[in-house]
Structure 1
Amino acid sequence: MTLKQCLNSCKFLLTGEMNMSTFSIDRPFLQDLLRDIGSGRIQLPDFQRDWVWDDYRIRSLLASISQAFPIGSVLTLETGSTDFSFKARLIEGTDPVHAQNEPTTLILDGQQRLTALFQSVMSGKAVSIRNNRGNDSLRWYYIDMDQSVNSDINREETVISCGEDHKLQTPDGGTIDLSSVEEQYKNNMFPVHKIFDSASWRQGYYRHWERSKEKMDLFDNFEGEIITCFQRYNVPVIELRGAPREAVCMVFEKVNTGGITLTVFELLTASFAAKEFDLREDWNKRVKYFRKFPVLRKLDNISFLRALSLLVSGSCTRRDLLELDVQTYKQKVDKVQAGFAEAAKFLNRRKIFNSRDVPYQTQLVPLAAILAELGDEGMTIGAQEKITRWYWCGVLGEMYAGSIDSRVANDFSEVIGWIQGNSDEPATIQEANFQTNRVLELRTRGSAAYKGSYALLIAQGCHDFLMERTTEDMERSRDDIDIHHIFPRAWCKKEKIAKEIYDSIINKTPLSARANRKIGGRAPSKYLAKIQEDAGIDGAAMDEILTSHLICPSALRDNNFEKFFEDRKAALLDIIEEAMGKEIIREPVIFDIDALLNGPDAQN
């Protein structure tokens, strides 16, 4: 990154202004930086990912330095200057035997450039690279002395790489083995890892060519134009001092917008590791425990931390999470785990069994925190009724769409206060509203209200059209069940019914795949007769099943889509109203169903 970009990224203080006391700007020699990396004085915070770069970028980087071109600035963090610490690790390629020092500096931005340079120039070992196919290999780097001093040749073309065996293919199909120093001298190929220790190589080169004036002049020119650039190269370094964790996180993310994104979890993992606590290992144990709850399959570590933060401070913003410490985490973590387990059971009792059917993953956070905080008090009949009403108001009122930090915190405190008799109904209940016409717009699982309505349908005890099982039983068993059209698409298209009508949840219900295959694209009057025959039931039994789905049997048997649609819409609004515990104002329909049955939007 450029120096200007790096400086802009440091504008992280609450005032929003640059504070020169929080960072310093220096221009150390590249050689000194790389030596500090080799000694372990400069390391990486543990949250940094492993270094991966390709051969071309390394050659381009070396070519840039050989011409004294800028390669961007480096952003570091001074250790010991903050009220927190990170677990550190050595840069790849560093020899642990020689890197015994405690780090004084951590690299926040510049890891890839410094790693590439350390491995190729200073380590004395082959450089680890990854090609565009994701395959790893080792390369050695050389500079063609003859070509590099020729101003007519692109410098990048003069930086040569070869495999771990040092063998280089020549244009005529031959092979040069550069593992032999004599072959290096003979072919004027200078090893990049000798850039900062070129004296002995120069002496050997002179001896090999018997101090030929032409070759001595070549090396002198090469040294003046190439080696000197490396030895005198300065790297702009901005070092943060006394920056809070939140600032470090923000700065790291800003400087890595094109690459790595640092999450709060990763930052806390590195911070906790400095206190000898492995947060990632602990989370992995929780994940194994949560596997017994299919409804929690999408639960992530950030949501878990947010619930924990609610128990600690009643808030769960990014800053709140970054202020968590190891001791507090250990005190609350088992309680939070229990809260999510109870949340899973709560959802199962509301007929939500799989993660794909959870209306809002974000609402799981306050739900788990509320249940964790209340403990046994939250399991009473009265408390469960209140939590249930709050939950459905959040889902059906679609209150958890958009920015929800303040709602999560408010719901946590307000629901608990309401249950304990210390406050009125939570704002989520008071503000929730379900517009009558919204039910016409619920067409896919992308809507929380759609998923909520699906769960409410299952809660009615509806039976499969064909199998002797309830849809709840099939959902629990994760059998082949989904929400399918009652009046089939093909029939609706043939009757010129508009897509926005026949794709509405009003025309959908949970059914087994076998029952849906029996329906096919036929008219209800025809598929009902076939299903009755195959299921071995009479019309009365079939009507009872239809009623369990809130379907008017006579309308379906008569293929009367309009009557079916109006009756089922009213029935769905009734169960939504009951779940929310508040009256839904039945406003007039915003469009004419008659027009949509034969209107311009109808599909042929």
Structure 2
Amino acid sequence: MELFPDKRNLVNIIEQAHKGAVCLPEFQREFVWSREEVADLLRSIVRRYYIGSLLLLRCDPNNPPFAPRFFRGAKPQYHQPRPESLVLDGQQRITALLYALTAPNLGLKDSSRRRWFFLDLKLLLEDVYDDEIVFDRAEDELADLLTEQTQYQKLVLPCTRLLNSRDFLKWRDGLDDWLRENSPADHQNFRDKWRDPWTDLVTAFQNYQVPLVELPRVEDSDSEAIGRVCAIFEKLNSTGVALSVYDLLTARLYRHGIKLHNLWERACKAHPRLAAWSEGKAEKNNFGVLLLRTLALLRDVKPTPRELIDLDPENFEKDWRRAAQAMEKALELVTLVAPDGFGAFDPKWLPGSGLLPTLAALRATIEEKKLGEAARADLRRWYWCNVFMERYSSAVESKSRKDYIEMLEYWQKGSPEPSVFTEAKALIGSPSYTIRDSATTGSAVYSGVFCLLALRNARDWRRGESIQLQDLQDHHIFPRGYLQQRGFTKRVEINTIVNRTLISDETNNKIKAKSPAEYLQSEDIFPAGAKSELLQPHFIGPDALEIMRAATEDLGHAELRKVYEKFLSIREAAIIAEIRRVTGVEKSPGGMA
């Protein structure tokens, strides 16, 4: 797609936005700037600062590719938007300037009342870097500042005179006449010192140019070109809030009378887990897009951005409700701390959200087709295989489609075993399979192990209560301070998942940097003693416990390294054995016990 880089007069763009020739696509979020942010943008332009670039999309006014809406505060020529361009990046800046230069009867983020913005002309010449060069007033604060006589008296220019040069020059000539009649001394200063610099400042403001990238027109039917527009937007967007496929589809469906935001709100009201995990926001954790991917899979459509943007509006609301119900059921499975569930008792322990649409679509198909326990067991196996191979950390869309088709054909047509199971046997069943390098919550393996701990009913050592009654966190078994004091410096070696388990912050604070041998004997940490029934669910069996008791305060670096390595080997073997069980993977000959 050819891009058209350019520089454009900013005030002209504001004029076009005011008339409705430049519009916003419906997916753009609301204007959120405060009074001070508007004032600061004005100061930046007066001082000739760089204020960023704009990204526009050329349009056929009669058939724009996204549903358009007018800028906030616009006074358009037409009742319905007929945009020549849509603003993809620059909404907040254009809306802020439109507000300052036209003073519409609207509030701002931090003021429900209409505001007028002014330039202090005298201060502009004395110190352009003084922030008081721009100020704003509400109606009850104006004190006649909207009358030209008061403006001339105080040498204050309303920003509404900046939108075109004719208005400013008329105001300036009026000031000339007023000073001649009412203040001869100031009139002389105006002639000698003020008029030309003020005129130059305002002219510079009105001629201020911004870098602009304009995208060529795309046809409404050209989903490939629209996909490229979306990709370009995500690359060039300078606001830090990238628009998702959900936002873009919102605008395209709007023209068919489908209000995706309303559908989202109804879905959250109907499905408490979806509402909780998304915090009621489609953009939170990308749940709006996840629901669209689920819908696409259930429609037998590839869940790629290009396909999602072009989803057929026919029966969309019905399919959306089906996808939302499927996602709710998937989250029920994910959060269930029971043998049939996946143990993600808190959203932070979800081993990646990318597999949720496939899980949701597969679970929905099992229920709709009334498939039996074998399919449900396969689904649990599929889930754990993906977690412990971290398959959904990249190329999510292609894997989703492939897995969905292979699983359905396996269940309904007796096709060969899905490739995910073959891959798991080769990787997880290998003698070289290890989880040592997983050391952060960004790893699906790391989160997956904590979910297994929850499913094993791992309890806090001090309180001994079920995980549902406690806010348990990931903490070290061999304390970080204890290891660091003895020369251990590698973060992965200290923070590996093999050295982490679920205990409360309170228990961890009592352990601090104590040696395992010392804290195992503490009644304050183990009131009922460090018994195997309490430690076994933490993958700490008798052999691992014996090694911990050998980790005393008097060990030096070399001795501790041997002890620590032995502990990690024993505990890793126990965790991998459980991983192989839940993934249905038999270890390869010569593999770990």
Same fold (TM over 0.5): yes
Distance 1:234 1:580, change over 3 A: closer
Q: Distance in 2 between matches of 1:202 and 1:341?
A: 64
* 1:359 CA displacement: 1.5
Aligned to 1:367: 359
Gaps of 5+ in 2: 220-224, 279-284, 552-562
Letter in 2 for 1:103: R
Aligned to 1:164: 137
- Give TM-score scaled by structure 2 length: 0.72
Distance 1:156 1:332, change over 3 A: same
* 1:529 CA displacement: 8.4
Summarize deviations over 1:7-35 as a string: whole Å, max 9, x none. xxxxx3xxxx56xxxx899989956x655
* Residues 1:479 and 2:479 are matched in the alignment: no
Q: Distance in 1 between matches of 2:276 and 2:145?
A: 60
Q: Distance in 1 between matches of 2:497 and 2:480?
A: 13
Contact 2:460–2:472, Cα closer than 8 Å, also in 1: no
Aligned to 2:451: 455
* 1:392 CA displacement: 1.4
* Residues 1:556 and 2:570 are matched in the alignment: no
Distance 1:92 1:566, change over 3 A: closer
* 1:253 CA displacement: 3.6
Summarize deviations over 1:378-426 as a string: whole Å, max 9, x none. 6521101111222111111222223332112211211222222342222
Q: Distance in 2 between matches of 1:35 and 1:181?
A: 23
Distance 1:367 1:39, change over 3 A: same
Letter in 2 for 1:479: Q
* Residues 1:43 and 2:26 are matched in the alignment: no
Aligned to 1:596: none
Q: SS at the partner of 2:351?
A: coil
Distance 1:79 1:287, change over 3 A: farther
* 1:112 CA displacement: 5.1
Distance 1:545 1:30, change over 3 A: closer
Aligned to 2:82: 103
Contact 1:140–1:161, Cα closer than 8 Å, also in 2: yes
Aligned to 2:558: none
* 1:341 CA displacement: 2.3
* Residues 1:440 and 2:445 are matched in the alignment: no
Distance 1:351 1:309, change over 3 A: same
Q: Distance in 1 between matches of 2:8 and 2:459?
A: 74
Alignment of structure 1 residues 509-524 onto 2, 5 Å: 509-511=501-503, 521=514, 523-524=516-517
Q: SS at the partner of 2:256?
A: coil
* 1:88 CA displacement: 0.7
Q: Distance in 2 between matches of 1:245 and 1:424?
A: 38
Distance 1:586 1:492, change over 3 A: farther
Contact 2:439–2:446, Cα closer than 8 Å, also in 1: yes
Aligned to 1:197: 167
Letter in 1 for 2:160: H
Alignment of structure 1 residues 216-365 onto 2, 5 Å: 238=214, 240-243=216-219, 244-292=225-273, 296=277, 300-347=287-334, 348=336, 349-365=341-357
Letter in 2 for 1:414: E
* 1:228 CA displacement: 7.4
Q: SS at the partner of 2:392?
A: coil
Summarize deviations over 1:179-214 as a string: whole Å, max 9, x none. 442344456655453443357646644653259997
Gaps of 5+ in 1: 1-11, 169-174, 590-604
Distance 1:488 1:300, change over 3 A: same
* 1:335 CA displacement: 1.5
Which residue of the other structure, out of 382, 396, 406, is the alignment partner of 2:398? 406
* 1:145 CA displacement: 9.1
Contact 2:271–2:325, Cα closer than 8 Å, also in 1: no
Distance 1:295 1:566, change over 3 A: farther
Higher mean C-alpha displacement, 487-496 vs 360-369 = 487-496
Q: Distance in 1 between matches of 2:539 and 2:150?
A: 87
Q: Distance in 2 between matches of 1:340 and 1:255?
A: 32
Alignment of structure 1 residues 2-41 onto 2, 5 Å: 12=1, 17=2, 36-41=16-21
Aligned to 1:600: none
Aligned to 2:586: 583
Contact 2:32–2:109, Cα closer than 8 Å, also in 1: no
Q: Distance in 1 between matches of 2:290 and 2:243?
A: 16
Contact 2:296–2:302, Cα closer than 8 Å, also in 1: yes
Contact 2:121–2:157, Cα closer than 8 Å, also in 1: yes
Q: Distance in 1 between matches of 2:537 and 2:206?
A: 82
Q: SS at the partner of 1:43?
A: strand
Q: SS at the partner of 1:406?
A: helix
Work out the percentage of aligned pairs sharing the same amino acid. 24
Q: Distance in 1 between matches of 2:86 and 2:395?
A: 33
Contact 1:39–1:101, Cα closer than 8 Å, also in 2: no
Contact 2:123–2:133, Cα closer than 8 Å, also in 1: no
Distance 1:285 1:142, change over 3 A: same
* Residues 1:141 and 2:135 are matched in the alignment: no
Distance 1:366 1:207, change over 3 A: same
Q: Distance in 2 between matches of 1:479 and 1:214?
A: 79
Q: SS at the partner of 1:277?
A: coil
Q: Distance in 2 between matches of 1:272 and 1:506?
A: 48
Distance 1:137 1:461, change over 3 A: same
Q: SS at the partner of 1:44?
A: strand
Q: Distance in 2 between matches of 1:47 and 1:353?
A: 34
Q: Distance in 2 between matches of 1:578 and 1:237?
A: 55
Distance 1:207 1:356, change over 3 A: closer
* Residues 1:421 and 2:417 are matched in the alignment: no
* 1:373 CA displacement: 3.2
Aligned to 1:385: 377
Q: Distance in 2 between matches of 1:104 and 1:532?
A: 68
* 1:322 CA displacement: 1.0
- Give TM-score scaled by structure 1 length: 0.71
Q: Distance in 1 between matches of 2:574 and 2:131?
A: 78
Higher mean C-alpha displacement, 380-389 vs 559-568 = 559-568
How well do the aligned residues superpose, as a CA RMSD in angstroms?
5.1
Aligned to 1:3: none
* Residues 1:182 and 2:185 are matched in the alignment: no
Summarize deviations over 1:564-593 as a string: whole Å, max 9, x none. 65544433332222222223347799xxxx
Distance 1:575 1:378, change over 3 A: farther
Contact 2:46–2:201, Cα closer than 8 Å, also in 1: no
